[in-house]
Amino acid sequence: MNRKESRVFAGKTVVVYILLLFSLALLSQGCGQAAPDAGGGSGFPLTIKDDLDRQVTVSREPGRIVSLVPAQTEILFALGLGDRVVGVTEFCDYPAEALTRPKVGGFATPNAELVVAAQPDLVLAGVIQKDFIRQFEEAGLTVVALESPDLVSTLEKIRLVGRLTGAVEAAESLTGSMQHRIDQVAARVANLSEAEKPTVFFEVWPDPLTTGGAKSYLNSLIVAAGGRNIAGDVNQDWFTYSPEMVLARNPQVIIFSHHGESTQTVEQLKTRKGWEDVAAIKQDRIGYIEDQNLVVRAGPRVVEGLEQIAGYLHPGLFVE
């Protein structure tokens, strides 16, 4: 599923970067003083199993936290824990306050020395960073690796972050609000027949044409919004999709959302050569989501992405 963390490269390099960009959805300047209790009591020491199947014990409520995943950074700030965040990646760009935190490298290349120097009580990482996690463990740091492949797991991970940080009540409040919005969408699309669920192509990059398959976070949003992803039969996450396949599948709706230097407009997509007979273009059913992180970053804002997708798929059901 805004991530201005995207830097554009040409040809296949773009695809590689996009794959890295979206792997961030799967994972989903502190002063260092004693941290305030954000609700839920102490609950420490706390031992959990993370998404690398590691038993991790957090001995006390962390007052200094490093986040190596943009989605986890968003979660921390949404839980009111921004004052405890003492390190983030170069790609942690939301909320704006996150930009003021010390940088500890990139998502794929966190700087171990900077992470250790931040003296964190807790490091939140992604499963894709397992090689770096070993380094952090060897340095004596407490590291939890998290991954969120879909909406349900995103809510679970927010609750887990709440437990790991002593912000249980804040996490319950946040996930309760998110669940309410998810339920509202679900209620409106619940009685749709399969034929009433439009086929959709979601373009995440124009050249080479890139979309999300069955394993992508995006696919879970399309399904929850009452749609049928034309690439949903491909058991991959993010991959190149040929224009010929789009024409053959003839989607009823096209939604696009780009990062970086792409300046494509709805009008330009409508006039794309060879696509004039695609149902979505003939019926003028083109949607644009400006902030791509709403649909690829597994954090609190994914419900907004879900609502936008649902609105494009079923405008008659989502008229406010």
Strands 253-256 and 286-288: parallel
Cα–Cα distance for residue pair 171/155, rounded to 1 Å: 9
- Domain that residue 245 falls in: 191-313
Cα–Cα distance for residue pair 52/190, rounded to 1 Å: 35
pLDDT at 320 over 60: yes
pLDDT at 170 over 80: yes
> Is residue 302 classed as helix, strand or coil in its secondary structure?
helix
Final residue in a domain of this structure, among 177, 200, 221: 177
- Judgement on whether residues 23 and 86 belong to the same structural domain of the protein: yes
**What is the tens place of the pLDDT at every residue in 129-145?**
999 999 999 999 999 99
- Judgement on whether residues 21 and 137 belong to the same structural domain of the protein: yes
- When the pLDDT of each residue in the chain is averaged and rounded to a whole number, the result is 89
Structure confidence at residue 42 (pLDDT): 73
Beta bridge partners of 66: 87, 123
- Judgement on whether residues 135 and 203 belong to the same structural domain of the protein: no
Strands 205-206 and 209-212: antiparallel
Q: What is the mean pLDDT of residues 151-159?
A: 97
Q: For residue 4, is it within any domain?
A: no
Structure confidence at residue 4 (pLDDT): 36
**What is the tens place of the pLDDT at every residue in 287-296?**
999 999 999 9
Strands 209-212 and 238-240: antiparallel
pTM of the model: 0.87
- Judgement on whether residues 23 and 169 belong to the same structural domain of the protein: yes
**What is the tens place of the pLDDT at every residue in 67-106?**
999 999 999 999 999 999 999 999 999 999 999 999 999 9
Residue 30: pLDDT band (50, 70, 90) is very low
Inter-helix orientation angle 11-27/217-224, to 10°: 70
Final residue in a domain of this structure, among 153, 177, 201: 177
- Judgement on whether residues 34 and 147 belong to the same structural domain of the protein: yes
Q: For residue 137, is it within any domain?
A: yes
Q: For residue 204, is it within any domain?
A: yes
CATH number, domain at 117? 3.40.50.1980
Q: Which residue has the higher pLDDT, 29 or 162?
A: 162
Q: For residue 186, is it within any domain?
A: no
**What's the gap between Cα 247 and its chain centre?**
28
Q: Of 8-22, 173-187, 302-316, where does mean pLDDT reach its minimum?
A: 8-22
- Judgement on whether residues 200 and 167 belong to the same structural domain of the protein: no
Residue 123 CA: distances (Å) to CA of 21, 53, 260, 309 = 20, 16, 28, 33
User: Beta-strand (E) ranges in 170-295?
Assistant: 199-203, 205-206, 209-212, 228-229, 238-240, 253-256, 286-288
**At which residue do the structure tokens 């998404």 appear?**
51
- The domain tally of the chain equals 2
**What is the tens place of the pLDDT at every residue in 267-301?**
999 999 999 999 999 999 999 999 999 999 999 99
- Judgement on whether residues 87 and 196 belong to the same structural domain of the protein: no
- Judgement on whether residues 199 and 159 belong to the same structural domain of the protein: no
Share of the chain above pLDDT 90, in %: 83
- Judgement on whether residues 147 and 228 belong to the same structural domain of the protein: no
pLDDT at 12 over 80: no
Q: For residue 318, is it within any domain?
A: no
Q: What is the mean pLDDT of residues 204-225?
A: 96
Q: For residue 55, is it within any domain?
A: yes
Residue 225 CA: distances (Å) to CA of 97, 156, 296, 317 = 31, 20, 15, 11
Q: Which residue has the higher pLDDT, 32 or 156?
A: 156
Q: For residue 2, is it within any domain?
A: no
- Judgement on whether residues 133 and 21 belong to the same structural domain of the protein: yes
- Judgement on whether residues 145 and 101 belong to the same structural domain of the protein: yes
- Give the angle subtended at the CA of 207 by the CAs of 203 and 210, to the nearest 5°: 35
- Judgement on whether residues 202 and 157 belong to the same structural domain of the protein: no
Greatest Cα pair distance, the chain, in angstroms, is: 62
